[in-house]
Each structure stands twice: as C-alpha cells, then as structure tokens.
Amino acid sequence: MPAHAEPRPLSGPIVIFSFDRPEYLGRLCASLKTQQRVTIPESSVYLLQDGAVSPYSGVRVAQDEAIEACVATFQEHFPGGVVMRSPGNLGIAQNIRRGEKLVFETLDQEIGYFFEDDLELGPLYMHMMEELYAALRPLPNIGYFTAYGDVKLQAPGPEVKLLPMAHNWGFALLREAWRKIDARLAPFYKVLDGRDYGARNHFRLYELMRDSEFATNATSQDAFKSQACAELGLARLRTDVCFARYIGEKGVHFNAATFDRHGFRDMRWVEREDVHLAPISVAEVEQIQRRSAEGLRRFRAEKFDEMFSAHADKRFDEDRLVTREDIEDMYRLVLDKRPHGDNMFNNFVGKRTIRELRRRLIFTDEFRMRNPLPSEWRPKD
C-alpha cells in the first residue's frame, strides 16, 4: 500500500476470547489499537468473556476479580466495543464456538478475525490479514489463515510466502468453511455436552478419531478442527514472515520452560514496511493442504493405535454402559454394602452409563452420612 493511501476498513469483525489473564489481554488490545493501514471500528470488536464457575460441576475455575479485570481492560482500550459475558464457564471450545456463531450466524459475516488473549500483534498484522483475504478469497477450499508466521524461520521479508498453519492463533475463518467444519464437528460437540471442557471424555474423543483416516495426538478443539479440515480438503495457511509474537508463557499448555524451548521468547515481528505477498496460486494452496493432511494421515496410520492403546491402559471410558459387576463394585466402594434387590440392576445394566451410576450413588444422603465432610470444609455458622 502506498504511504499516502487511505487506511482501509476491516472486512469483518474482530472477536477476542478472554478468561482470566488481564495482563495478556491488555497487551493484545493495545496492539490492536496500534494497527496501521487499516481502520478498526470499535463497534466491530467483541470480547467473549468466559465465566468463573462451571454450570455443570459447580467448580470454580477462576476468581471473579480476574474476570472483572479482563472486562475492565477491554473497555479501557475499546470503550465502544461489545462485551459478551458468559454467566458460567463454557471452556475454550464452547466459548470459541459461541464467537463463531456470533460472526457467521448472528452478524451474518463472510469473514471473522478471532484472537485468544496470548498474541501480541505487530503494527501490520491486520493489514497483512486483509492482504491475505483479498488474495485467498477467490480461491477454492480456503479454511483458516493467519499471519503470526514461523517462529523458527522468522523470514525477513519483504516478500511474504505461505506455509501450512500450525496453531490456531490470531486466525481468520471464512463463513462457508466454518459451516462445513462445524457440521463435521457435531460428534465432537456432542461428547462435550453437559460437562466441563477440562473433564472431557478423552477416551470417546479418541474413538472418534479412530474412525477417520486422519488423526492427531490431542483431543482439543484445535486438534479436531485440524482433522476436520483434512477430511474436508480445506487449506490452513500462515505466513512465513512473523507479524506478531506469542506471549502465552503462562497458561494451560505452556510454562516458562516450554515457552523457551519453542523459541517464543525470541519471537519478533518484522519491522520493515515494504512487505508484500508473493503471488498465490491454486496449485500452491492445494500443495500446502495436501502436505498438512498427509501429516495427519501418516500419524493415524503409523502412531495413533499405539497411542490410543497406551491411553486406554491408563484411563477408562466413563460413558460406557454399566454392567452388573460395575454396580456391585460401586456399591462396595462407595456405600460399603451390596445392592438390595434387582431395581438398580434392572434400571442401569446396559441402559445407563458409569458416570450416571457414580452420580446416582454419590449424591445421596447415605453416601454423605458415610463420608462426612472434614471440619475445615463445613459451612461456618
């Protein structure tokens, strides 16, 4: 873009997913405010703030003060932005899906830009995302694209080339691709229904992957979206030049040691202003998509069964149907007795799950009387 050209408006809204890290959120928001060559209307910036307490288990997973600090941080940077709080804790998968539905169903947009709180943007990040959108929009089978770059390569520019996308960081997603991906993920979301994301049934999720020719070693929503793109033939693309830096040193998947090991402490965005996209062809995009899909196919064929077997040796499927032996074992361990009569056997064997049986016995007065709370856990008068 010539230096005298007017900044252009973004082609779609920005959605930020937030939980309990206001310091990271502040860095992301501040970097969005410094974007060059684009204009970002505050009314098109949305904060999807997750809640502190699970609606399913009642477990508190964050402090209210951290939640309020995140909202205040966002409003400090974007007083005209839109805050959408979740009353309870949805977990990252359902919170992101909430944002996707907002963009593609409620707002009926063709493209959305999605950020978690742990990416700090260089001043040309959104400019490059718009350049990518203009170049990729006419091409078939485009799913995700992003401009955070390759931390190991950190290409200097000025020419910007495409690579397979790794992490789902600071990404753009197209509406038609999302509709296909979301439909393909229906079994994944069904497994998540009614439970905390952190307590998702990994056993059942690996079973879903076992039925595909593509697989990964994780059961996260990012992993299943990568698998869905491989199955659907959708490309996931990123730039070789870094236009952002990852800052999530503290989080679910990273600590200081892993952060350093992956080289993120030395990640820098490109400083030059003469960056430009190399020409992009359909053949190039197809080659990148095939390379990504082949990696998932090879993992499924060569490593997945061994990994799943090792997982099954350590964990049980709590959603499998109850056997007679399960009822007898559960009564013995939880209530120190045998079940009386045949009612429990008739109602549960082959009809209800282990999880339902466990809940049925633990949430009883008899269990509470046999297992009183320690004094320090009891309500104070």
* Predicted confidence (pLDDT) per residue in 27-72, tens digit: 999 999 999 999 999 999 999 999 999 999 899 999 999 999 999 9
Decide if pLDDT at 381 tops 80: no
What mean pLDDT value characterizes the chain? 94
Q: How confident is the model at residue 4 (pLDDT cuts 50, 70, 90)?
A: low
Helix%, strand%, coil% for the chain, nearest 5: 45, 15, 40
Asked if omega into 374 is within 30° of 0 (cis), the reply is no
Tell me the pTM: 0.91
- For residue 121, give Cα distances in angstroms to 31, 64, 190, 195: 5, 28, 34, 34
Residue the block writes with tokens 């928001």: 29
Q: CA 181, CA 101: separation in Å to the nearest integer?
A: 12
Nearest to 245 by CA among 96, 76, 123: 123
Contact (Cβ atoms closer than 8 angstroms) between residue 240 and residue 161: yes
> Token pair for residue 183?
């439909």
Q: In terms of DSSP H, where are the helices of the chain?
A: 22-33, 64-77, 92-101, 125-136, 175-184, 186-192, 202-210, 221-232, 256-261, 282-302, 304-314, 324-335, 343-348, 354-362, 365-370
Which carries the bigger pLDDT value, residue 370 or residue 165?
165
Distance of CA 61 to the CA centre of its chain: 17
Which carries the bigger pLDDT value, residue 119 or residue 367?
119
The confidence score (pLDDT) of residue 5 equals 73
Write b or e for each residue in 104-130: b if 16 or more Cβ atoms lie within 10 A of its Cβ, otherwise e: beeeebebbbbbbbbbbbbbbbbbbbb
The confidence score (pLDDT) of residue 380 equals 67
Out of 56-60, 255-259, 306-310, pick the least confident: 255-259
Residue type at position 141: N
Average pLDDT over residues 352-367: 90
Q: CA 68, CA 20: separation in Å to the nearest integer?
A: 9
Residue type at position 94: Q
Domains of the chain, each with CATH number or no CATH? 8-302 (3.90.550.10), 324-372 (no CATH)
Q: For residue 369, what are the contacts with CB-CB under 8 A and spacing of at least 6? A: none
The DSSP H or E segment spanning 120 is: strand 119-121
